[in-house]
Amino acid sequence: MRDAELLTLAQWLSPAYPVGAFAYSHGLERSVGRGDIRDADALARWLSDVLTQGAGRSDAILLCAAYAADDVAPVAELAAVLAPSVERRMETMQQGAAFAATSRAIWHIDLPDMAYSVAVGRAARLMDLPVQPTVQLWLQAFVSNLVQAAQRLMPLGQTEAQRILAGLAPHCIRVGSDATRASLDDIGSATFAVDTASMQHKHSYSRIFRS
């Protein structure tokens, strides 16, 4: 990668980029609340499953499909209907709209509002950024946000949080690499506990996060 490309990706996927990721937990809040996740080991397993068998993998494929597509509209439409709950749809659509709005304002690219992963993939295509590091860094940013959410929900120190994130790096590399060779027909998930947690979240007595 050229230096400018690397810095653009780092900017897009930094917590400072105003997509509002800090407001969403992807069902993690409910999973902690109902006792699915009680310690760091359980959190690491939960995050690993999300990356390899859940939305991490599916969104990585959608990102790469958006990058490869001449017409991104069908990919965007598919991404919008794949979310398993109202809150998860809000999570991806609102972050995607925020990402698109900021990127249009700064780089003046033709980037419509759409699901977050699709918007990032399309922006990378328009900016001629390489797809594999884009999707791998996107996955790391995705799981990093969830690790930060976990620190607000359970006893989890900064060092242990970063140890978990480092342990997930090989999954980000592999899932991202595999996604560059996948098609939309390969999308699928098997994280039913995560999905039901996201469905139940809105009924929680008190909430910190929007999903």
Distance CA 104, CA 133 (A): 21
Evaluated on CA atoms 145, 150, 155, 160, the torsion sign reads: negative
Give the pLDDT score at 202: 82
Give the pLDDT score at 1: 67
Give the pLDDT score at 130: 97
157: three-class secondary structure by DSSP: coil
Give the pLDDT score at 210: 83
CATH class of 27-203: mainly alpha
For the whole model, what pTM was predicted? 0.96
Distance CA 114, CA 66 (A): 11
Give the pLDDT score at 204: 79
Residue whose C-alpha is closest to residue 19's, from 128, 98, 113 = 98
Distance CA 15, CA 2 (A): 22
User: What is residue 185's DSSP assignment?
Assistant: G
Evaluated on CA atoms 208, 44, 52, 70, the torsion sign reads: positive
- Spans of the chain below 50 pLDDT: none
Distance CA 136, CA 7 (A): 15
Residue whose C-alpha is closest to residue 56's, from 201, 198, 176, 177 = 176
